[in-house]
Amino acid sequence: MTPGGARDDGPLPLLFTVLAFTTGLIDATSFLALGQVFVAAMTGNIIILGLGLAELDTALSSALSLLSFAVGAGCGGQVALPRLASRHRGLLLAAGTAVQAVLVCGAVMFASRYGLAEPWTRRPVVMVLAFSLGWEYAIVRGLKVPDLNTTVVTTTLTSLFAESVPSGRQDRRLVSICALLAGALVSGLLHRTLSTLAPLWTAAALLAGCAAAAYVTARRPGAERWG
């Protein structure tokens, strides 16, 4: 606990900010390169699903993304968290983010091998990325760091303007929104200047770095304050 009674979150807010940035990278790439479908913004997917019911390809991709996100969230929240609940929060984040890094890396390797020109190659990538982000969001919720959201912007944006809370909490909300925005911006730039898959490779590297940083900091002296 901090002197004011609030829980000490150690490096988790910084790591969550990086995760929000990677979400922006991945979701923007999904929309730009995988058939205008989201793998994190499930509200947008529901709208796209409704609009695209007359077009089987768009509707199917949106439905697969929704289902995969739900399965990922279920695996993270119902399988991983109960088994790791007694572990230090940094170690839990390290394990969860390492799994996500492997999933994203696997998706981008598949895309590199088979390309993204055909629906049959895009859909597996959509499903793995959506699963990874559902998994991430379940882990993030389980870590209970207030006012920092790595996936959902609508709730955070509403809270930012609808609630009167201490400035520190509002700063966290603003940071998470800006991180998602920055991730989408960088994704678009990398998509144009380097390659379609450059944002996903970047996201995989950042996720691996987050996992390593969470593990190392959780093992340092004094880490019990935020565990």
Q: In angstroms, rounded to a whole number, what is the distance separating the alpha carbons of residues 37 and 204?
A: 20
- Location of structure tokens 């800006």: 178
Whether 3 has a pLDDT exceeding 70, the answer reads no
Whether 5 has a pLDDT exceeding 50, the answer reads no
**For the segment 67-77, what is each residue's pLDDT rounded down to a tens digit?**
999 999 999 99
29 with 196: CB under 8 angstroms?
yes
Q: 92 is written with which tokens?
A: 């839990």
Q: 100 is written with which tokens?
A: 């996500």
Whether 1 has a pLDDT exceeding 50, the answer reads no
Whether 61 has a pLDDT exceeding 50, the answer reads yes
Arithmetic mean of pLDDT, 162-189? 88
76 with 96: CB under 8 angstroms?
yes
Query: In this predicted structure, what is the pLDDT of residue 115?
Result: 95
Higher pLDDT among residues 188 and 167, named by residue: 188
Q: In angstroms, rounded to a whole number, what is the distance separating the alpha carbons of residues 21 and 12?
A: 14
Query: In this predicted structure, what is the pLDDT of residue 51?
Result: 75
Sequence-distant (≥ 6) Cβ neighbours of residue 225 within 8 angstroms = 1, 8, 10
Query: In this predicted structure, what is the pLDDT of residue 56?
Result: 61
Query: In this predicted structure, what is the pLDDT of residue 93?
Result: 96
**For the segment 36-59, what is each residue's pLDDT rounded down to a tens digit?**
899 999 988 888 888 766 666 667
Q: In angstroms, rounded to a whole number, what is the distance separating the alpha carbons of residues 83 and 154?
A: 30
Q: Any idea where the domains of the chain sit in the sequence?
A: 12-217
What kind of fold does domain 12-217 have according to CATH? Growth Hormone; Chain: A; (1.20.1250)
Query: In this predicted structure, what is the pLDDT of residue 55?
Result: 62
| Residue type for position 67 | L
**For the segment 134-172, what is each residue's pLDDT rounded down to a tens digit?**
999 999 999 989 888 898 777 787 877 887 767 777 888
Taking the alpha carbons at both ends of the chain, their separation in whole angstroms is 10
- Look up residue 225 and give its DSSP letter: G
**For the segment 71-107, what is each residue's pLDDT rounded down to a tens digit?**
999 999 999 999 888 899 999 999 999 999 999 999 9
Name which of 22-26, 109-113, 166-170, 198-202 the model is least confident about. 166-170
The mean predicted confidence, pLDDT, of the chain is 90
Can you say whether the dihedral through the CA atoms of 106, 134, 186, 36 is positive or negative?
positive
